Chain A
């Protein structure tokens, strides 16, 4: 029940928001924030919620409306609720009612993506989450170009996913597989490669990763800050989640074959994103390119095949979601006050806006990986894991990019908040209490996660896809079968940890 409410609730209420008169945007904002808070409460209150499953198709393959928490998705749902809460509270400007409605629909659709335990349902929500963002882009954005770029890129990805899902269903006979480690799916080499290519293309576009990233800076720059906070915080994780939940468990050998390619893409994204962020003057684009760099790091981790690195990837996904949402919300607040995002025109805001400056500093520090904040926990796990798995050069490249992260994050902070005050900027209001309320849970999240990442590390350990990139099967240690949530160290009954001998490794011929 809980999981159904998490998906359908926001969508239905989102449509209902259109019944509120256009002028009463404040009411729509509050409703959206309350809905987000309630979804957070629901997920916290019922972490062991039972799966909901209804039969959908029997032919040509089995498919179900199957929703349920998984080890990773539970945390992403919490993250999404926080980001939506912050986004809804921070909404203002023209057409706030419509944006609030689309934000809720987006939340419901994305909850669907992460909670779907059926590939076809996953693909359905995957395509569905395009529409709200497209509508916001054309309603708000001054240029249609960004909307088209977003739509065409992501729709091509979605269609590749659809074709791959169809082929997967045709070969495997069922798509009701996500999160089922005990389902043995054997996909032959011929089909496996193509199916892998379809999934990988969809996930790489969505993340995005270097050659497919060009939609991202434009989309992030054009979207209103509250929406971009949600999109960058959670939508960009959909692809990485897809790699972890779908590609590694079912297409391990193909993933192993693509390892080098993915490493190259990840490293290029790491360095290119960092350099572009250093050169960019538009504050939102700086954060957009920094995301490109950070997500490249997660891609490295996912394809390293190291259990440790994958745990780090999960932690870093959550961490990046938290601090990138804060960054976009704070930069949105700055843009709204000063009517510009050009960091060359901004300066010295810190003197009169200590709270704003403080929050930006915290988020920037989290982004550059200061120990004690969430970014560090993820990065150190990833770097250690990648290094231990024997990939020395990728680890070094990642390290260089992390050093560059300090450079562009501090540059962002410095040019906006420090230095002499720029005289002709219109308004100097510090953080209002609504904005503070929007940002506070996210900040609390990345501070807590930084101090005590243990919980997510444990959960991530359970989620590490067994026997994934086991080309040599040297560095896979953890195999967990059909394991639910592991919260507070309490294991669910029936959750058995297999010994190393039980691993279901498909060895390539």
Chain B
């Protein structure tokens, strides 16, 4: 399914990649609010800092001598005024902060609901639907429609994680035993990266999430594709790959809908090939990277929960070809 605009954005992102996980490049309603507030605070802070430095320098430089009683009286007035100014500024900033909090709490009845669960060290996304057979699971990459509020319900499967896609919104923790949620709207199409923000163990550094915001039609197409079962193997090699997936240890942890692989410990792989990255943002989705990952998961991402499954070179070839083909 060709999606030229997606490709264009992808190219754009590699060009200026430092902006795809940045609070300074807001692309969602919440992030925009926060960006405005950020600059209000920052400019206030810079002005205060400059003023204090100026007074300090002048104080060091001047050599006026006053009788202590006079000096103390003048100092009293100056300090009193400065404290009063502090109280006013602080109150103003508190008020601004409070006002900025209100839109964050807004409820959106027509929101798209995605349930996101944090695992050590990947993300499981559940898209629910009134029709049970139209719900599906995916991992590490979520798609959202532009212009429609998205409510992400956050949960944790093991330890605390934190959902943070700075271009779209602030972060919200995923806490075992507690339910959290965050609502935001992407204002234009694009691909943004998020990363677990709460230290969650060995591979906390490699727990990334991709958020693809696309026009509603494109989103619907993606959704339909995800609802579908895995695409059947197109050739002998891929067929061998599917057989290996079902026969080897892979199926103990992973599900590929449409095959007998139905494990639930690891990410759902039904449409693995449609994702841009592998292993929660570590590797690009290519056959080579897939083979490297399967051959030595502990070397690529030390400490992660995927064991090395012994495979011959041919088996590795077949399996990675099959997995990448799962668009």
Asked if A and B are interacting partners, one says: no
Give A contacts to B, CB under 8 Å: none
Give B contacts to A, CB under 8 Å: none
